[in-house]
Amino acid sequence: MAERYPLRHRSTSLSLLAASTEGAQASADVPADQLMDDADDNAPLQRAYRSKIKVKASVRGQSAAVDMEGQVDDGDVGGGEVPSRVSVKRKRRQRVAVSYEDGEGERQTVAPPDNFEEIWDGVSEMRKARNAPVDHFGIECCGDRSQPPPIWRFQTLIAAMLSSQTKDEHVAACMNRLKAHGLTVENILATPDDALKELLYGVGFHNNKAKYIRQVCEILQRDYGSDIPSTTEGLVALVGVGPKMAHIILQACFDKSDGIAVDIHVHRIANRLRWVKTKTPAQTQSALESWVPTEKWREINPLLVGFGQQICLPVGPRCVECLIRPLCPEGRRLKGAPVTEGNGGIGTAADDNGVYRGRSKNEPLRLSKGDE
């Protein structure tokens, strides 16, 4: 059986072969002076390893500390015996934690990037058509505005609760079933559990969400007169409602912008653009709110979510089609000329209708000469 880490010394290879063969007799009994050139019986193994990794060599019950930049430590290996097994131990790189709050709970100030406005204008140009799923099936689109305000506000709350771990298209389909059934606080409380779960089938974790929705309806009927809370604190106190949902609900129902709604798209894109260096959406929200102008807090979520659904995809982003590729650290890593208006690429700034549309799902990618 071949040794996993063969040594280049001829006599060492002979000893390893003898030690790794089942039933081999006293190859171990061969005098060390016959195996090693210019070494007496008690000389240590003289072998230089050209690496910066520390290894531990187990020598027939003994241990020898080996520095792969130097030699075996004198006195650690006796009798001129040869290591029969070598295990490599690598040091793990230490990671630096990133925090955007100090010990008092106050946000730190993060300097805005120099090209923020240029990137914002480029993304706005690509999102001018407003034809992403979030534009047609997002939370703000699910409430029936023809109903009295308490009812359509409640419907917006339910859409937000259903949106967790679920695509916008599936949320919209579920909301249509609920509205046809009668989506009011009183009607949901009168609906049996099994029927409610069946109505919610198709959204992620529909059984849990059915339980949460019933609990929320009981709270709204008891404490808010079948309406919804009008503050972030009141919304996040409801089971199944997080900060992102609360900010979107306040923006849609009360025209308030108390914070930036950060979902997985905003978190991913902000890190790709090096606007932040964070590990969680909560950290991203805190970092962005420290420097993004407050007048952009409401718009940044639908802007980046649609951009993430069409161009800056989680896997296989369409950087070749992106207008802000020259400004994006990830986009600049790709070879080929970036897409600009009139260079023959699919992602030109405007199509025949004067809007940027991106590439459809089944449409082949046409590259410019610089990308071929």
| Catalytic residue positions, numbered | 244
Say how far residue 293 (Cα) sits from the centre of its chain: 25
Residue of 213, 204, 297 whose CA lies nearest to 250: 297
CA 39 – CA 80 distance, rounded (Å): 8
Q: How far apart are the first and last CA of the chain?
A: 49
Cα–Cα separations (whole angstroms), residue 298 to 29, 96, 259, 289, 293: 80, 31, 8, 11, 10
- The DSSP code for 29 is G
Residue with tokens 């059984």: 207
H runs (alpha helix) in 148-192: 149-162, 168-181, 185-189
Say how far residue 296 (Cα) sits from the centre of its chain: 24
Residue of 315, 278, 330, 260 whose CA lies nearest to 119: 330
Number of H helices, E strands in the chain: 14, 3
CA 254 – CA 33 distance, rounded (Å): 89
Contact between 46 and 74 (Cβ < 8 Å):
no
**Gyration radius (Cα) of the chain, Å:** 32
CA 181 – CA 176 distance, rounded (Å): 9
Contacts of 360 (CB under 8 A, 6+ apart): none
